[in-house]
């Protein structure tokens, strides 16, 4: 993952922080604590929990190569998921 910041009034500065995709998944792993609740919700809604998990995995894998830019007034942060 890389991060670039821009300040329109000052010379542009770029900071690149390399974070591999696997580490990003590791950092998101606390969400696994919500897995039992999601499993019960899938059963109540009559959704196959295995299929729902497989689809969620496909969405996470599809994030690779995504560029996200968050801008506010005179600053912007761009994140690239690699």
Half-sphere exposure of 25 (CA within 13 A, CB side): 13
Give bridge partners of residue 13 from the DSSP assignment: 5
Number of independent structural domains in the chain? 1
Q: Tens digit of pLDDT for each residue in 4-58? A: 555 555 555 666 666 677 777 787 787 777 888 889 999 999 999 999 989 988 9
Say what the pTM is.
Answer: 0.49
Range of the domain at 11: 2-80
- DSSP states of 6-68 as a string? EETTS--EEE-----HHHHHHHTGGGGGGHHHHHHHHHHTT--HHHHHHHHHHHHHHTTT-EE
pLDDT at position 35 is 85
More confident residue, 67 or 14: 67
Alpha-carbon dihedral sign for residues 13, 18, 22, 28: negative
pLDDT at position 43 is 94
């Amino acid at each position: 993952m890389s991060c670039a910041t821009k300040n329109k009034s000052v010379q542009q500065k770029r900071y690149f922080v390399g974070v591999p995709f696997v580490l990003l998944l590791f950092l998101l792993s606390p969400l696994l604590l919500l897995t039992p609740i999601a499993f019960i919700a899938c059963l109540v809604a009559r959704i196959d929990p295995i299929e729902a998990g497989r689809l969620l995995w496909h969405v996470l894998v599809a994030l690779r190569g995504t560029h996200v830019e968050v801008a506010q007034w005179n600053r912007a942060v761009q994140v690239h998921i690699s």
